[in-house]
């Protein structure tokens, strides 16, 4: 069982950030404590959002309280949405303190920068993630756009995806998962690829792999947060069982199976609402009833979390 500190966003209603991560991690048998970087009424796909963004001093003060009371015996650190450079620096400080106390700490960084060509955060965070958090990380989980920003590599094929992974290895990250990429060789934009790469720092051995899976139409939010949590949960369980490389690919198969199942359940739920879904609606213009229908069906799909059946197999690349 892992003891996990998760630092990312929080919403009162819906499933993104810590709301998407905590339940799956707990259901898979791990202890989870959370520090929230924001507290919003709902995610930003809705037409209105209320709440506060928390300062780095707030994040550090909460962690100081944990330290003071001896509550900081974590084996894993998971980070998601930071929002500003000060919070990235706060996470750097927390990661260094946890590594000092427990050198074997597994640090999973979901570098939440943007998606589909659009940044969600100030551009200065790109360099901070690349130069500050990535060298401390055990595993990073960027999407295609984020991986391109971090590595200055245009990803159009499995070969260019491998090159992006190699650049992240060069920065110091032993395990890389590009969670979803549209490749030129795929069947239009109906197929997505996950690309993973694990590097043994001691021997230099490397295993690179991919998983192909169908792309579902719709406006899903929180899928990256959910995937990072699922991947951490399975990797924490599997890594001690593998004497060599291979744990990451298996963990990705299990996490992908759960995520695909939950997204399919969400799609079916949205269709049952009979709310029309138009294409290419920008944030802020999507009807709230439609957005609500696309909230991830995590709780009704708990059986897919606890007992995933891998339906998409990894293959070496």
pLDDT per residue over 115-173, tens digit each?
Answer: 988 898 999 999 999 999 999 999 999 999 999 999 999 999 999 999 999 999 999 99
Residue 243 has pLDDT above 90, yes or no: no
The confidence score (pLDDT) of residue 200 equals 93
The confidence score (pLDDT) of residue 312 equals 95
Tell me how far apart the alpha carbons of residues 207 and 142 are, in angstroms, rounded to a whole number. 18
pLDDT greater at residue 282 or residue 58: 58
What is the average pLDDT across 205-218? 95
Alpha helices in 77-188 (DSSP H): 85-101, 124-128, 144-151, 158-171
Rounded to whole angstroms, what are the CA distances from 18 to 33, 191, 249? 10, 28, 24
The confidence score (pLDDT) of residue 188 equals 59
Rounded to whole angstroms, what are the CA distances from 16 to 175, 277, 281? 24, 21, 20
Q: Are 34 and 62 in contact (CB under 8 A)?
A: no
Residue 308 has pLDDT above 60, yes or no: yes
What is the average pLDDT across 305-313? 95
From the candidates 52, 61, 110, 225, which is the catalytic residue? 225
Query: Considering the chain, what is the average pLDDT of its residues?
Result: 96
What is the average pLDDT across 247-271? 97
State which H helix or E strand residue 304 sits in.
helix 302-306
DSSP summary character for residue 160? H
pTM of structure? 0.96
Go through 138-168 and write b for each residue having 16 or more CB atoms within 10 A of its CB, e for each that does not. Answer: bbbbbbbbbbbbbbebebeebebbbebbbbb
Strands 139-140 and 118-119: unpaired
pLDDT digit string (tens) for 73-119? 999 999 999 999 999 999 999 999 999 999 999 999 999 999 988 89
What is the average pLDDT across 34-59? 97
Strands 206-214 and 315-316: antiparallel
The confidence score (pLDDT) of residue 244 equals 78
What confidence tier does 186 reach under pLDDT thresholds 50, 70, 90? low
What are residue 153's DSSP bridge partners? none
Residue 66 has pLDDT above 60, yes or no: yes
Active site (annotated) includes residue 189 = no
DSSP summary character for residue 134? G
């Amino acid at each position: 069982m892992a003891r996990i500190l998760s630092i990312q966003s929080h919403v009162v209603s819906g499933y993104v950030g810590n709301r998407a991560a905590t339940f799956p991690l707990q259901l898979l048998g791990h202890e989870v404590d959370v520090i929230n970087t924001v507290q919003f009424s709902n995610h930003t796909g809705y037409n209105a959002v209320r709440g506060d963004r928390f300062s780095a001093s707030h994040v550090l003060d909460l962690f100081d309280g944990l330290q003071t009371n001896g509550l900081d015996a974590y084996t894993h650190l998971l980070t998601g949405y930071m929002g500003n450079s000060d919070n990235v620096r706060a996470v750097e400080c927390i990661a260094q303190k946890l590594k000092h106390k427990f050198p074997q700490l597994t640090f999973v960084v979901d570098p939440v920068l943007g998606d589909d060509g659009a940044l969600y955060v100030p551009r200065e965070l790109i360099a901070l993630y690349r130069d500050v958090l990535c060298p401390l990380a055990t595993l990073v989980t960027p999407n295609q756009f984020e991986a391109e920003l971090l590595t200055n590599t245009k990803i159009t094929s499995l070969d260019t995806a491998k090159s992006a992974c190699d650049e992240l290895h060069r920065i110091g990250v032993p395990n890389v998962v590009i969670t979803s990429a549209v490749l030129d060789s795929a069947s239009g934009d109906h197929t997505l690829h996950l690309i993973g790469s694990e590097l043994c720092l001691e021997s230099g051995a490397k295993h690179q792999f991919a998983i192909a899976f169908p792309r579902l139409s719709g406006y899903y939010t929180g899928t990256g947060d959910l995937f990072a949590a699922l991947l951490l949960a399975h990797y924490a369980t599997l890594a001690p069982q593998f004497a060599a490389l291979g744990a990451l690919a298996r963990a990705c198969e299990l996490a992908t199976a759960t995520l695909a199942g939950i997204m399919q359940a969400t799609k079916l739920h949205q269709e049952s609402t009979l709310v029309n879904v138009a294409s290419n609606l920008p944030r802020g213009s999507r009807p709230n009833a439609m957005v609500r229908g696309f909230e991830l069906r995590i709780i009704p799909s708990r059986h897919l979390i606890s007992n995933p059946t891998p339906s998409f197999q990894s293959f070496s690349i």
